[in-house]
Amino acid sequence: MKALLDVGSIGAAGLRGLLDRARDHADALRAGERVVPSLDGRVVGLLFFEPSTRTRVSFDLAAKRLGATVLVLDPDRSSINKGESLRDTVLTVSSIGAEILVVRHSEARSPALVHTWTGRPVINAGDGTNQHPTQALADCLTLEERFGSIQGLRVAIVGDIVHSRVAGSLVDALRTLGAEVILVGPDAMLPENDLPRSGDLDEVLAEVDVVYLLRIQRERGVEASDDYQSRFQLDFDRSARMKPEAVVMHPGPINRGVEISVEVADGPRSLILDQVACGVPVRMAALEAVGGIDW
């Protein structure tokens, strides 16, 4: 795999291979193994042109756990502020010696451009409203660890789906692995496609195994209507109407009191911190895959 730009292009076998490798890493981490030096001495460049907490930090730790050297570009203090283009910036970082590039950018498809310009392996860490493949992998690993298999699970994705790169990748991954997906939200937040959809969260709550909540992407120009919370917030009462074994997920950052209540975010159904923890082993697997490591 020369690049991990989206979920669609890696296919079912690619997805399965990454998840199996990530599961092995997760088991090894739990067993106390700290470093698996398959990328010993290789240089991983983290190029985050948009804010990030969990994705950036987990790529950083994943690379270090593989024995790589991590080179972090801080865009706010880089020559981008002096008018340098994205192309010149990434060619510079590549020439300095970054061998694998992890790219987050507000423009869809910029990680693909970085791959073309530099010829280096690239992982898309979130591009505009397009894709976020390693988040989808972390979510699938979380679900497999909880349910054993994703095949046949019913997953409601709720909220600002049209602006969500997380949803873009997750829908592809879940359907490839045999889950049924239903999109839930106000019309203006649902993309145009032929997936099952609903504007009524209460109608689907008791039917699904997973409620996957999304933040409203205000930085991409969308505002919630006044009745958003009353219609779509997953609060205690709604969570009580879910199936006994059903779980709540969210890629973070969460906005407590908007799409999710405080009690539900911290409650027994919440897998939010499991998703975060799964971010490290899946990013280890992704870095190895684009780094040409056979497993």
Member of 121, 126, 281, 291 binding ligand NCD (CB under 6 A): 126
Q: In the complex, what is the shortest distance from the CB of residue 81 to ligand NCD, in angstroms, rounded to a whole number?
A: 22
- In order of 36, 70, 290, the CA distances from 127 in angstroms are 29, 21, 18
Under the binding rule (CB under 6 A), the answer on residue 55 touching ligand NCD is: yes
Under the binding rule (CB under 6 A), the answer on residue 135 touching ligand NCD is: yes
**Residue from 104, 111, 123 nearest 44 by CA:** 123
Under the binding rule (CB under 6 A), the answer on residue 42 touching ligand NCD is: no
Under the binding rule (CB under 6 A), the answer on residue 120 touching ligand NCD is: no
> What does residue 231 show for φ and ψ, rounded to 5 degrees?
-90, -35
**Residue from 261, 63, 247, 286 nearest 169 by CA:** 286
As to burial, measured by CB atoms within 10 angstroms (0-12 exposed, 13-18 middle, 19+ buried), residue 54 is middle
Q: 199: which DSSP letter?
A: S
Strand 100-105 with 122-127, pairing: parallel
Under the binding rule (CB under 6 A), the answer on residue 252 touching ligand NCD is: yes
Q: Tokens at residue 268, please?
A: 């027994």
Binding mask 203-222 for ligand NCD (x = CB under 6 A): ------------x-------
Member of 42, 115, 132, 269 binding ligand NCD (CB under 6 A): 132
Q: In the complex, what is the shortest distance from the CB of residue 256 to ligand NCD, in angstroms, rounded to a whole number?
A: 14
**Residue nearer to ligand NCD on the CB measure, 94 or 270:** 270
Under the binding rule (CB under 6 A), the answer on residue 170 touching ligand NCD is: no
Binding site for ligand NCD (CB under 6 A): 54-55, 126, 132, 135, 165-166, 215, 251-252
